[in-house]
Amino acid sequence: MELVNVEQLQVTFGEKTAVSAASFTIEQGETFSLIGESGCGKSTILRVLAGLQRQWHGNIQVLGDKLQPGVRFTGSLRRNVQMVFQDPWASLHPNHTISRTLAEPLRIHGETQIAEKVAEALQQVGLAADAGKRYPHQLSGGQRQRVAIARALLLRPQLLLLDEPTSALDMSVQAEILNLLNRLKQQHGMTYLLVSHDADVIAHMSDRAAFMAGGVIQRFFDREALNAGEHRMNQG
């Protein structure tokens, strides 16, 4: 079943075309990845699908809803599409404890048993319960990214958008976070759209991938092609 269908997506910033006529689908339960160098347009696509970039042209369906340019996500879309950013600082308030940060989306959506759900979320991403009492600056980069993942997963989204989720982390921590993401995906039956410039990350995570350059999807890779390392040939 198709969870995402993007047809002829175009995004321009003034004179610059960031994304030019991109088309792809994402099947339920798979990890689909966009690979390419910085500035190729892959993060812009992610921001469109997250509802953060609202000026675009084309046809997009997400979870059965037809997206409209310029319109904010509401209701089930806002709940079922979550994003993990490259820099976890982007989603963590510096003056809020981790528990408060995690509780906020639950409160907004009228959830009950918030303390229990926050404790469970911390446990799921491998953090001790007392991490909830800390502030972002008291955690390591890897711990902060675990909190960002926990926050994105609290509402049990169907689609998780991952923008270079490990590129700001040490190599040893990168593998831990990637394995955590794979495990959580299996547990909760989620679908991932991953953006990365790292061929190893793409190979480790993806069922299918698309290579982008200059705002255009140049080529698609299935799992067999990824196993054979064909996606590495496009990386200069």
Residue-wise DSSP of 136-198: GGGS-HHHHHHHHHHHHHTT--SEEEEESTTTTS-HHHHHHHHHHHHHHHHHHT-EEEEEES-
Report pLDDT for 168: 82
pLDDT at 65 (0 to 100): 92
CA distance 23 to 58: 9
Residues 6+ apart with CB under 8 A from 37: 197, 213, 235, 236
Residues 89 and 25: their CA atoms lie apart, in Å, by 30
One of 3.40.50.300, 3.40.50.2000, 3.40.1080.10, 3.40.50.880 is the CATH number of 2-92+161-234, namely: 3.40.50.300
Residue 169's pLDDT is what?
85
The verdict on pTM exceeding 0.75 is: yes
Low-confidence ranges of the chain (pLDDT < 50): 236
Per domain, the residue ranges of the chain are 2-92+161-234
Q: Are 16 and 30 in contact (CB under 8 A)?
A: no
The pLDDT score that the predictor gives to residue 235 is 60
Angle between helices 141-153 and 114-124 (to 10 degrees): 130
Q: Identify whether the C-beta of residue 83 lies closer than 8 Å to the C-beta of residue 160.
A: yes
